Every structure is written in structure tokens, then in C-alpha cells.
Structure 1
Amino acid sequence: MFGQGGGAKERDKLIEGAKRCLRERGYAHTTARDIARTSGANLASIGHHFGSKDALPADVMVEESAEWADKLRQAMAGEVPREGEAAGDRAPPPGLRGRHRSLRSGRAQATAAPSTG
């Protein structure tokens, strides 16, 4: 029986190739052949892994969103230093002071607006 390793690797290559093509050409000007050529994959593998070229951008968006969310979590946790500073050296932004710990853990609570009286 064949393992899943080769299929996952091929799928990842297609996603990376699609990212590149979509960035460079946009969706309307990207063909399935472009994606296959850029990724070094067989044209038929797009249909095998995604059903069609049309399904591929959704997977690209999911992957890009997950990468962006990871970077945001790292930045909020102070793990991604700005140029010239070490991680954890800076205070949270003014709007997050006192609440940044709950945001990191996904338990942010809405605060009520102060009443004017």
C-alpha cells in the first residue's frame, strides 16, 4: 500500500506554485498549466488533489491566512522582535496594556465604553 507522503508533498508544491502564479499574474491570468509548470507538477495532479483550478485559490487563502495568524500570535506574544530589539523587550501597545495576556490566549473580553455623565 502506498503512503500519503508523496501525495502531500505534491499538493504542497501545487499550493506554492499557485501562490506564486496568483501573486504574479492574478487569478484571471493564471491557468492550470501555469500552476503545474511553476510547481513542477503534472497538470493532472491539480484535478487529483483539488478537483479543479477553481478550488486551488481557496486552499491557498486558507494556508496564507493560517500563516498570517501564526505571525500575528507570535507578534502579540512578543516573540517577533522589531529591528534592533530582542523579543519581549517592548511593552504592549497602549490599547492592549492590561488586556494583552487575555488576547494571547484567545479569551479577549469586550470592554464597556465609559459612560458620560
Structure 2
Amino acid sequence: MTDDMRTLLAAAGSATNPHAHLGPVVAAEVAWGNQVVKDCYVVDWHFGDWSLGLARPFHVDLLRETFRFAPETRLVNVAPRPGGQPGRMSLAGSSFAAVSAPIPPGLVRGVWAVRL
């Protein structure tokens, strides 16, 4: 049996930092050349924006090689919405906190979820 050297990520952050479990993913994406275009803003559990936005699509293969995700964590493809809201990929665990990124070109734009 070989040791899994990937970093284990929790399914959720803490009460004071709901995005804590996603911080390593954001740091890795930035290190790989992605950019944060919309930072999350959470005042309390009822107000604020729970999604941090990235400029470019996720590095899915690198994420899988670098991290072990909790079973509750999913990468979800969200279809475009009326009014011109583009489709996005969203990475989230068992809380409302998420990191979103554009859908890669050529990827089917329906709604689906992938376990990491």
C-alpha cells in the first residue's frame, strides 16, 4: 500500500470562516496562473456572497493530483441562466461557500456534478 501524499481538505470551513476549507484550492489555482476576479463577502450566515470567482477554468487534473477532497465535495457545472448570466463550474462542500470558475471551452454546458 502506498501513502497518499495529497493534502486532505475538509468538507466545510468554520463558523467564523466558512471558506476556510477552500483556501488551499484558491491558493493553488493562483499559483498555477489563475486569478481571483470576485472575492467572497460574507457578513453573516444570512447576508453576503458565498462564492469566490476565478478568471479561468479550474485546473481539474492538478486539483485531483494535489488534494484529497471530502466525499461531500463536488465540482458542479451550472448551466447559463436567463438574463445573460454565463454558465460556471462551482466547487463546494457541505456548506454554502463555493469557488466558481468559467466552464472550459468545448465542455458540455448542461448541469452535472463530479466527485473529486
TM range (shorter): under 0.3
TM-score normalised over the length of structure 2 = 0.27
RCO comparison, higher one (Cα < 8 Å, 6+): 2
TM-score normalised over the length of structure 1 = 0.26
Which structure has greater strand proportion? Answer: 2
